[in-house]
Structure 1
């Protein structure tokens, strides 16, 4: 374990050494020496994971979270109105920052935690481990598929729909697969820099395009009275636009200084919340209530093509990050504490390649083979992302306070924090139940209206 990290002061004044003594060892062990002596003249170059700076983690987080999800935000404003919509976006950004802090604190106290599955083992035992690990993999695969569909829409728009949609998805899936192969996140981090630039520039281009070619006679509402179903299904767009916390443990595990993780989280949330609010407001003001989801599809054709073309690298890298996350969870679980984790072995690389291919292949098959895949993304996000981003973070703090600070008396000594974390848990529960309900109702409505097509449809 990094000696500087051990020396720094941690949670509530405890040293990192005390924390490590009371909990498990770091998931990747000691990586100070990246070479292992094999003989007097032969060395083996080892794979080092703990290489990320907080700046690169911030880039990875932005590349993963600020992606095609933001393109649905203007349509959410059209349903609930610009004022409630913007208030919700800002509130969720602040809420996501708070839950990120809870996740980071838990990770610092439990350096053995590599994924939500490991956290589930601490909270709920073996059953919790399988549920949270399975949820992470399922949501990551669905998120990869969502990015493949975003790439499909972009490629179709750029080429005026000259090819079969399934072919567009296949074309986009190939570079997504290739970019998923690096074993460590630092290699993905460097290619995530152009990914962040692409989505930022694409958003600016989209706003400029909307401003230059506004929709005449558009209608803009300050606030819209609506029923629960319509309101909540639109609210899920900004809720899940922040749904990237399920990757935090994996990213922090590969940091050189995990205690700097909140710097990355603050950078992410400030950028995401500001960019989301500005983009949603500007596009909605110029396009009005008829704005499509994704929003780029409402732009003048030339500006639409420019925005989609610039955004393509972000869709690709975000999909690669999701597939990498699902693969990494399995890989670390299989080879934890074995030489295959850090060494260039046939078993290690063979397993990694197979896992990456399986995760990307599953995402592709689901995206093109399941007619209701977009609705299933909503269900997966409700069942898992709602907990990973919001609810479960409250349980982490309540668990550590109870077990490490003296039981229920520890909760009583911090009534405000206890109340906040309890409300956080209940919020996750509400989003999970309500989001699942509206997603299932949307599927039923789609089948009744005949909007559901055939699988593998061109």
Structure 2
């Protein structure tokens, strides 16, 4: 929930609210990129035309589209990529390539839909605002719950990823997972005191550099040891290895983990709300999605064909022991810290606006202390979740089923269809089919995927260790 959200305010529809909605002509102009029709006034987007409520302070529009590329890539590239080779092993590499590419294209389209909605509803700087504009409060609250649950669960996942990076870095020692997560807290708490996405965008550039080094070292290690494949007895499978119920559960769980790699839509609207010119968002979208899809395919296929059926859930464990492995793990650790901070900032700001709206953007000691208190509580809860579900790919799958399916595919498509109906706009048949497909994916993931992932978590807890036990790096691979 960003600082402009207004759920629960009885006056938000009357005296304290200024809502600016574009006409049908404006929506079509944004949709088609046409110069005809009335242009959207960018100055209006950064003024009091947002919903105002209880001391609301709009986000400062200072972020350029290049910064946006770094913000999104810092969140998307990382924990998903280190799990992709193992998902290919469970679902088959041929099936994995098709699904990874298809979901990537749908993700890019979902980003475009969110941009159209943001340019149509000027108070649409969060999923909740858009939901209220196109439907009402029931859908608004559903969006709020899922989106901010997503941010929180991703914090737990990133904490787990950072802890596993520590285990990899200290490959010569057996480090308990919960000790590694505690050590991570010493780094994330100070970093999470950054209070705007614009500030974090500069850390995002550093984060992209760190994950790039990690991927490069992973690939160098894979390519330089390629001649060992025969001696290691590596095998490949283009299709799921197992059939029947067990095969379905394993492959479907792998697919939900794969979708996690694209789960960044939850922060698109917030990011647009800080852009100097949100018209430039499609430019950033085309760049970072092209890079991400190509990078995912290249790295996951290279690593899978190096390690095959011996791929670990956290692929850094596949690297041979030595200095390169330690450097790769340290770079991954630094990258994950920034990803954690991105999601923490969005969640902390949302809570701050609800509890102490008058202190938002005050830049004084009081605001800093309140921010510290909120972020400290959410980080502590994320630590509990990361140790309660200590299995990396299973936690990713659970997040994907509950949150990524709706936020990445379901909400953008549903909100767009509702907006077009509200505006009296006809949706082309190919876009209608794409939107309906995305809605089906979201519902299927929530209903079926959640159950499958919970089953996998229970199975792994019986095999590798119960929550909050000392899961060592040597057995948590």
Q: TM-score of the superposition, structure 2-length normalised?
A: 0.82
Q: Does 1:368 align with 2:384?
A: no
Aligned runs of 1:136-285 on 2, under 5 Å?
136-159=147-170, 160-214=172-226, 215=229, 216=231, 217-224=233-240, 226=243, 227-285=247-305
Counterpart CA distance in 2 for 1:358 and 1:211 is 44
Deviation at 1:162, TM superposition (A): 4.9
Aligned residue among 96, 120, 138 for 1:85: 96
CA contact 2:63–2:276 (8 Å) conserved in 1: yes
CA contact 1:49–1:185 (8 Å) conserved in 2: no
Q: Does 1:323 align with 2:344?
A: yes
Q: Kindly tell me the number of residue pairs found equivalent between the two proteins.
A: 429
Deviation at 1:110, TM superposition (A): 1.5
Counterpart CA distance in 2 for 1:308 and 1:142 is 22
Residue-by-residue CA offset, 1:25-71 (whole Å, 9 max, x unaligned): 23699xxxxxxxxxxxxxxxx99621111110110100001011111
Counterpart CA distance in 2 for 1:75 and 1:377 is 13
Deviation at 1:78, TM superposition (A): 1.4
Alignment-derived partner of residue 394 in structure 1:
413
Q: Does 1:453 align with 2:466?
A: yes
Counterpart CA distance in 2 for 1:443 and 1:296 is 21
CA contact 1:28–1:49 (8 Å) conserved in 2: no
Deviation at 1:201, TM superposition (A): 1.4
Q: Does 1:300 align with 2:320?
A: yes
Deviation at 1:279, TM superposition (A): 0.6
Q: What SS class does the counterpart of residue 68 from structure 1 fall into?
A: coil
Q: What SS class does the counterpart of residue 69 from structure 1 fall into?
A: coil
Counterpart CA distance in 2 for 1:177 and 1:27 is 31
Query: Structure 1 pair 432/19, CA: closer, same or farther in 2 (3 Å)?
Result: farther
Alignment-derived partner of residue 43 in structure 1:
none
Counterpart CA distance in 2 for 1:362 and 1:108 is 35
Q: What SS class does the counterpart of residue 222 from structure 1 fall into?
A: coil
Query: Structure 1 pair 420/435, CA: closer, same or farther in 2 (3 Å)?
Result: same
Counterpart CA distance in 2 for 1:365 and 1:65 is 23
Query: Structure 1 pair 304/224, CA: closer, same or farther in 2 (3 Å)?
Result: same
Greater mean alpha carbon deviation, residues 185-194 or residues 75-84: 75-84
Alignment-derived partner of residue 8 in structure 2:
none
CA contact 1:61–1:244 (8 Å) conserved in 2: yes
Alignment-derived partner of residue 437 in structure 1:
451
Alignment-derived partner of residue 402 in structure 2:
383
Counterpart CA distance in 2 for 1:195 and 1:316 is 8
Query: Structure 1 pair 321/213, CA: closer, same or farther in 2 (3 Å)?
Result: same
Counterpart CA distance in 2 for 1:186 and 1:138 is 23
Q: What SS class does the counterpart of residue 123 from structure 2 fall into?
A: coil
Q: Which runs of 5+ in 2 are unaligned?
A: 1-17, 472-477
Q: Which runs of 5+ in 1 are unaligned?
A: 30-45
Residue-by-residue CA offset, 1:275-325 (whole Å, 9 max, x unaligned): 111111111111121111111111111243232122221111111111112
Query: Structure 1 pair 94/343, CA: closer, same or farther in 2 (3 Å)?
Result: same
Superposition CA RMSD, Å = 3.0
Deviation at 1:259, TM superposition (A): 1.3
Counterpart CA distance in 2 for 1:182 and 1:350 is 13
Greater mean alpha carbon deviation, residues 85-94 or residues 361-370: 361-370
Counterpart CA distance in 2 for 1:249 and 1:395 is 16
Residue-by-residue CA offset, 1:170-195 (whole Å, 9 max, x unaligned): 11122212112112111101011111
Aligned residue among 120, 125, 139 for 2:131: 120
Greater mean alpha carbon deviation, residues 208-217 or residues 364-373: 364-373
Greater mean alpha carbon deviation, residues 346-355 or residues 365-374: 365-374
Q: What SS class does the counterpart of residue 194 from structure 2 fall into?
A: coil
Counterpart CA distance in 2 for 1:322 and 1:272 is 19
Q: TM-score of the superposition, structure 1-length normalised?
A: 0.85
Alignment-derived partner of residue 25 in structure 1:
49
Query: Structure 1 pair 49/454, CA: closer, same or farther in 2 (3 Å)?
Result: same
Counterpart CA distance in 2 for 1:327 and 1:311 is 24
Counterpart CA distance in 1 for 2:271 and 2:435 is 23
Counterpart CA distance in 2 for 1:330 and 1:112 is 19
Deviation at 1:120, TM superposition (A): 2.8
Deviation at 1:73, TM superposition (A): 0.6
CA contact 2:89–2:308 (8 Å) conserved in 1: yes
Residue-by-residue CA offset, 1:182-217 (whole Å, 9 max, x unaligned): 121111010111110111111111011012224432
Q: What SS class does the counterpart of residue 383 from structure 2 fall into?
A: helix
Query: Structure 1 pair 19/233, CA: closer, same or farther in 2 (3 Å)?
Result: farther
